[in-house]
Amino acid sequence: MEKLVVTGPTRLKGEVNISGAKNAAVAILPATLLIDGICTIENLPNISDIQISCKILEALGAKITWNNKNSLTIDTRNITTTKAPLDLTRKFRASYYLIGSMLSRMGEIEVGMPGGCKLGARPIDQHIKGFELLGANVTVEKGSIYAKAEKLKGSPVYMDIVSVGATINVMLSAVLAEGTTIIDNAAKEPHIVDVANFLNTMGADIRGAGTDVIKINGVEKLKGNATYSVVPDQIEAGTFMLAAVATQGDLLLKNCITKHLESITAKILEIGGNVEDFGDSIRVWCNKRPKKANIKTLPYPGFPTDLQPQMGVVLSLAEGTSMINESIWESRFQYTEELNKMGAKITAQGKTAFFEGVEKLSGAPVYSSDLRAGAALVIAGTAAEGITEIYNLEHIDRGYENIEEKFRNIGAKIERVNE
Ligand code: UD1
């Protein structure tokens, strides 16, 4: 079993290159199934979710050539089956994007019920509602989803809740449909815009991505023959911004889009940290103990739920008592029990947690319950006095490229050890 061993405390200092966005990349790869041709995707994060996505695409008949560890060329001209490997699709959440893409391209798909982080109930009713409005038949049976359509037809789709996955999935299913689809109450996250930009580069006609109304005019074919570079990862950048504050360090994050980081910047300034914005890079530093704050997670442009655990580490160390209200996922405070083992004073009940700030955390053995909880524990271990051992690394490896190397390069004492 692998574990990360972190010896702290360390004030993180230096530069970090932010990788391509996981949540954009895991949608762009299945979106290549809409192309009857070849395309190249660059700035892919080198993480296990991408490796699994590639295995699934290859099993469907796609041919993938890696140009380097962050770039691949994919040929999707010859798709040979509509049954995706069930064991692989159950391993992560974004396998649901195969439904929208394959319905559009092949008119049929069978996938395993998507897996991913256990953050509470993760229904896909809004995805299914969208597919059905476009004319598909969808059945869910024995842990698998089966979807079929003769010919998808554009339709108005009103989302009952703001969902990143459903917005992208319905967009994928509408690209090759006959006529126009209008998604109302769409999510506005940067990766939604990125997937739309990718599809438009390949020949789709999508307008309004990044607003809450997206209009997709169906086209006959996506031509491919183009290169696309994945947007920088908003959540990885936010993770390092909060690591700088938690460790009272000084970091320059390169290759990011600072506009996507505004909700995080605002909170860092509120709690007494400093931010200098250079447009495509951002410096964050903090010379004193942060102040308390109240936070509510919200869809973009609100404070992202995927940075809530990392912010929880900062507030554990802040002066005074802070409150976080988690409005997206019902079980996203599992990490607080691990932080309490390190000396934090957090009381979590339902969707609310209170953080009575402590002056220091102390190293302890801790378990990562999900991807972002794992990142939060790495930050906590770096800020804490003594040795922190972090277990369940498979969660962290799903979404962070070279986490220990990136932390080591900015001064952290962190090793991956095989027990
Ligand atoms: C995506 C991200 C995830 C992030 C989340 C919210 C990916 C691969 N994952 O997940 O990291 O935490 O956005 O920013 O991009 N819901 C329904 N019915 C549906 C769909 C969603 O009720 O059909 C609910 C969910 O239970 C949740 C809320 O809507 O309470 C938001 O979920 P959604 O935006 O869909 O999250 P994901 O796309 O799964």
117 and 194 co-located in one domain:
yes
* β 413-418/2-8 pair status: antiparallel
User: Which residues, at least 6 apart from 22, have a Cβ–Cβ distance to it below 8 Å?
Assistant: 45, 47, 49, 50, 233, 235, 236, 398, 399
User: Which residue, judged by its Cα, is nearest atom 15 of ligand 1?
Assistant: 23
User: Which residue, judged by its Cα, is nearest atom 4 of ligand 1?
Assistant: 306
Mutational pocket test of ligand 1: of 52, 263, 311, 328, the residue with most ligand atoms within 8 Å of the beta carbon: 328
CATH number at residue 165: 3.65.10.10
Q: Round to whole Å and give the CA distance between 125 and 212.
A: 19
Q: What is the pLDDT of residue 121?
A: 66
Please report the atom of ligand 1 found closest to the CA of residue 26: 8
Query: In the numeric block, which tokens belong to residue 393?
Result: 């690394």
203 and 268 co-located in one domain:
no
Element (H, E) at 241: helix 234-246
Among candidate residues 211, 229, 247, the one where a domain is terminated: 229
- Ligand 1 pocket check for 166: Cβ under 6 Å: yes
Please report the atom of ligand 1 found closest to the CA of residue 125: 23
187 and 58 co-located in one domain:
yes
- What is the residue whose two structure tokens read 């449909």? 177
42 and 160 co-located in one domain:
yes
Is 413 in a helix, a strand, or coil? strand
Identify the CA nearest to 231 among candidates 201, 257, 259: 257
Bigger pLDDT: 239 or 223? 239
DSSP string, 293-309: -EEEB-STTSB-GGGHH
Confidence at 116, pLDDT banded by 50, 70, 90: low
185 and 279 co-located in one domain:
no
211 and 294 co-located in one domain:
no
Element (H, E) at 71: strand 71-75
Confidence at 186, pLDDT banded by 50, 70, 90: very high
- Ligand 1 pocket check for 297: Cβ under 6 Å: no
- Ligand 1 pocket check for 123: Cβ under 6 Å: yes
Identify the CA nearest to 231 among candidates 22, 400, 50, 15: 22
Q: Express as a percent the part of the chain with pLDDT over 90.
A: 92
Q: How many domains does the chain have?
A: 2
Q: Round to whole Å and give the CA distance between 108 and 75.
A: 20
User: Which residue, judged by its Cα, is nearest atom 20 of ligand 1?
Assistant: 124
26 and 14 co-located in one domain:
no
Mutational pocket test of ligand 1: of 119, 129, 161, 395, the residue with most ligand atoms within 8 Å of the beta carbon: 161
176 and 243 co-located in one domain:
no
DSSP string, 333-378: -HHHHHHHHTT-EEEEETTEEEEE--S--B--EEE--SHHHHHHHH
Q: What is the pLDDT of residue 419?
A: 83
pLDDT digits (tens, 9 = 90+) for 143-175: 889 999 999 999 999 999 999 999 999 999 999
How many whole angstroms from its chain centre is CA 258? 17
Peptide bond into 190 cis (omega under 30): no
The catalytic residues are: 117
117 and 146 co-located in one domain:
yes
Q: Round to whole Å and give the CA distance between 246 and 233.
A: 20
Alpha helices in 119-201 (DSSP H): 125-133, 164-174, 190-201
Identify the CA nearest to 257 among candidates 265, 245, 249, 246: 265
Q: Round to whole Å and give the CA distance between 160 and 183.
A: 11
Mutational pocket test of ligand 1: of 138, 157, 162, 163, the residue with most ligand atoms within 8 Å of the beta carbon: 163
Q: What is the pLDDT of residue 134?
A: 98
133 and 261 co-located in one domain:
no
pLDDT of 122 higher than 80: no
The gap between the terminal CA atoms of the chain, to the nearest Å, is: 5
Identify the CA nearest to 397 among candidates 2, 13, 72: 2
Interval 345-360 mean pLDDT: 97
- Ligand 1 pocket check for 164: Cβ under 6 Å: yes
Q: The whole model's pTM is what?
A: 0.97
Find the range with the poorest average confidence among 35-44, 107-116, 144-153: 107-116
CB neighbours of residue 121 within 10 Å: 7
199 and 318 co-located in one domain:
no
Interval 279-299 mean pLDDT: 97
Residue 375: give the domain boundaries: 2-19+232-418
Among candidate residues 229, 256, 278, the one where a domain is terminated: 229
Alpha helices in 75-148 (DSSP H): 86-89, 97-106, 125-133
Identify the CA nearest to 100 among candidates 73, 74, 136, 51: 136
pLDDT of 284 higher than 90: yes
Mean per-residue pLDDT over the chain, rounded: 96
* φ and ψ of 105, to 5 deg: -80, -45
Among candidate residues 229, 253, 287, the one where a domain is terminated: 229
Å from CA of 278 to ligand 1 middle: 31
Query: In the numeric block, which tokens belong to residue 18?
Result: 């932010």
Confidence at 119, pLDDT banded by 50, 70, 90: low
134 and 162 co-located in one domain:
yes
Contact 231, 20 (CB under 8 A): yes
Please report the atom of ligand 1 found closest to the CA of residue 168: 38
Å from CA of 329 to ligand 1 middle: 8
Please report the atom of ligand 1 found closest to the CA of residue 127: 23
Q: Express as a percent the part of the chain with pLDDT over 70.
A: 98
